[in-house]
Amino acid sequence: MTTERPMPTATLLIACPDRPGLIAQITGLVGDLGGNIIDADQHTDPEAGQFFMRLAIEREGVDRAALESGIVQVAAQRSMQWRLNWRDEPTRLAVLVSKQGHCLADLLFRWQAGELEGDIALVIGNHADHQAITEAAGVPFVHLPVTAPTKRGQESRIGELLSETKVDCVVLARYMQVLSPEFVADWPARIINIHHSFLPAFAGARPYHRAFERGVKIIGATSHYVTDDLDEGPIIAQATTTVGHRDTVEDLVRKGRDLERVVLADAVRAHLQDRILVSGNKTVVFE
């Protein structure tokens, strides 16, 4: 159960209007300041005229201050958005959960197996169901029940806990509450949800029931960043599996659990490895 975590590298993510010479300029800058580039990936969106790049840089030997100020200069010239993550500390996740525990259990297991380049710092449940499994993994569990009248207060309390625990990213592991626009605005591209359908089909409630009624021959799951539009945020990962006329709604739910676990874990892994860039309402997910 203890697989070695890979040696962390620093990651530089950039997005800017496409211009010739960008790759050479950025990789040259990093190299001149002692940074050994382990992995580089880039993408050009010709419609949007945007350029995206991810560099993985060895942490040893690089002049951090010089690199940061160099990037600031390029960013000013190029109207470039960027994020440089030195990875001195693991990224910290909070998981929000309701009654369904399969995604939470899966994330805890993967974290303990060393699959996630980050830490699960906190689990918050609006039901108490998963306290034991969370604490058995050595993670604090906070039970914050919610009802219509207490919803605003409960959400503020979540915000405080995330702040106190220095959380970087929130994972909704089948959390059945809709977050307020104010909350979502505080966490742009930092809340990952799992929806139990292949979006855009069956957005909203009870997707397996609706898939059953429509008589589809495939079902799916979708992980996406949360935005104000329910189930409309940028898609990070999707997967599907086949179903047939013998499958009941319960079979769809069971098969779907296997999809949800894998699709959510894929998204969380990609986020933790700084492999995702958001472009409009779409994602670039480097490999």
Q: Which of 106, 168, 231, 247 is catalytic?
A: 231
Cβ neighbours around 234 below 10 Å, total: 19
Letters for 86-125 (x = contact with a copy of itself by CB under 8 A, - = none) are -------------xxxx--x---x---x-x----------
**Which tokens in the block code for residue 59?**
């942490």
d(C-alpha 23, C-alpha 229), whole Å: 35
48 binds a copy of itself (CB under 8 A): no
Our answer to whether residue 231 is catalytic in this structure is yes
Letters for 128-147 (x = contact with a copy of itself by CB under 8 A, - = none) are -xx-xx--x-----------
72 binds a copy of itself (CB under 8 A): no
**Which tokens in the block code for residue 144?**
């914050």
d(C-alpha 222, C-alpha 263), whole Å: 7
Q: Any bridge partners for residue 193, and if so which?
A: 172, 224
284 binds a copy of itself (CB under 8 A): yes
- Contact with a copy of itself (CB under 8 A) among 4, 76, 164, 205: 4
- Contact with a copy of itself (CB under 8 A) among 76, 147, 148, 246: 246
Cβ neighbours around 73 below 10 Å, total: 11
164 binds a copy of itself (CB under 8 A): no
Q: Which stretch binds a copy of itself (CB under 8 A): 154-162, 165-173, 174-182, 215-223?
A: 215-223
Catalytic residues: 231
Site residues, a copy of itself (CB under 8 A) = 1, 3-4, 6, 20-21, 23-24, 27-28, 30-32, 36-45, 99-102, 105, 109, 113, 115, 129-130, 132-133, 136, 198-202, 214-218, 220, 234-240, 242, 244-246, 250, 253-254, 257-258, 262, 281-285, 287
